[in-house]
Amino acid sequence: MELQEKNENTTIGLHRPFNMPLKSIVWVCRFSKGYKQKKDHDFYLDFFLWMLAAISEHADSFDELNAEGIIRPKNAQTILCLIERVTDDDKSIYSSYKNTSYYITLAKKINFIDNRGNLSLEGEELAKVRDYHFYELADKHKQIVFRALCPFFFDQLIVIAQGLQLIKGNRDLEGVFFRAYLKYYEHEGTIKYITSFDKNYFEVLRHWVNTLVLFKGVGTARKIYQEEIENLNLSERFKELIDRIEVFYNVEFKKRVKLEEQYDKIRSSYEQLQKKGFAEYGYVNLYDVKKNFRLSYESFNELLNSYYTAYRHIEIILFSNTVSSIDMRRRFLVDGNSVLKIRIIKKS
């Protein structure tokens, strides 16, 4: 099985929050196991109705703290009551239907069901596992799901799992770690860099890592995953990843942390100047920002370009060369453009 080839060249889009609950794969397989598709029936719609009923039935075990990407029991019950008079513009029903459609899409992409909703061998194996809790994965579920994810996400899952162990719960640095690691190794083509992962891709994968509880310590996968890694002939790849993450963490990442502190200083300087009334149409003068740094023009210009390159897809960073009065000072050069002012808008 050419797992590594798939892992290197295949990119699967992920939706936050609907792809976050891995238990959704089990739900799809359980539904498919007992589903007999009739003419004029819609697999997606039938699964949606099945999910509404199942969530209503297990309302007592619903956990609000781990509910991202899952229909709330109250909403499920309301929709079931209204199902006879559904209108096309009912947003709550559409949103819930969209939710369950993503469950099916993910199960298809990682080969638990085919395009007609029929179970694969892996899907049958997953559907047979005894379910002790409607919303939680049993260890056997986790083992099967991890095996299915490996052809597509092995590198990413191991990098995130190891990164979380090294960073030890510092949420501010988690996204920084993964983003910096991907960019650092991007030239190899080992992992395709995905610019939108900060809010979506990374958060979904991080949720999966925490759901599966992949590692029991730094550089050590839990026994059930060690067995799968060995069976899939990924032991050498695992060791290679752990070794290179250690090198990256001790050298490049520590440099990146210092850079992040400088980026935060740019943001905080911008916000302070705004509060003090130095902003014009949301823009502040870069020389006013520079006053908070002990940097030469060249060094500050380099920092601006580094910040813009690192966060242009994560934040809205705007520059302007328009001034209301004559300013003869040397312009900064960012992304090839002469600029004097900056505006930063954080994406919600």
Q: What is the pLDDT of residues 216-274, one digit of tens each?
A: 999 999 999 999 999 999 999 999 999 999 988 888 888 888 898 999 999 999 999 99
Q: Give exposure, 231-256, as e/b (b: 16+ Cβ within 10 Å).
A: ebebeebbeebbebbeebbeeebeeb
**Rounded Cα–Cα distance for residues 235 and 6 (Å):** 16
> What's residue 39's pLDDT?
61
**Rounded Cα–Cα distance for residues 256 and 249 (Å):** 10
Give the start-to-end residue ranges of the domains of the chain: 1-10+137-256, 23-135, 277-346
For residue range 168-180, what is the model confidence (pLDDT) as tens digits? Answer: 877 777 877 887 7
**Rounded Cα–Cα distance for residues 69 and 210 (Å):** 15
Residue 336 has phi, psi (to 5 degrees) of: 85, 0
* pTM to 2 decimal places: 0.72
> What's residue 68's pLDDT?
86
Give the Cα-Cα-Cα angle 155, 161, 165 (nearest 5 degrees).
140
* 128's tokens: 């047979």
Average pLDDT over residues 19-38: 89
State the residue for tokens 């440099």.
Answer: 255
> Confidence class of residue 12 from pLDDT cuts 50, 70 and 90?
confident
Question: Is the pLDDT score of 87 beyond 60?
Answer: no
> Confidence class of residue 64 from pLDDT cuts 50, 70 and 90?
confident
Residue 338 has phi, psi (to 5 degrees) of: -80, 125
- Cα four-point dihedral sign 275, 276, 277, 281: negative
How many residues in total does the chain contain? 348
25, exposed or middle or buried, with CB in 10 Å at 0-12, 13-18, 19+? buried
> What's residue 112's pLDDT?
96
Q: Which of 91 and 241 is assigned the larger pLDDT?
A: 241
% of the chain surpassing 70 pLDDT: 87
> What's residue 193's pLDDT?
45
Q: Cβ(143)–Cβ(152) under 8 Å? A: no
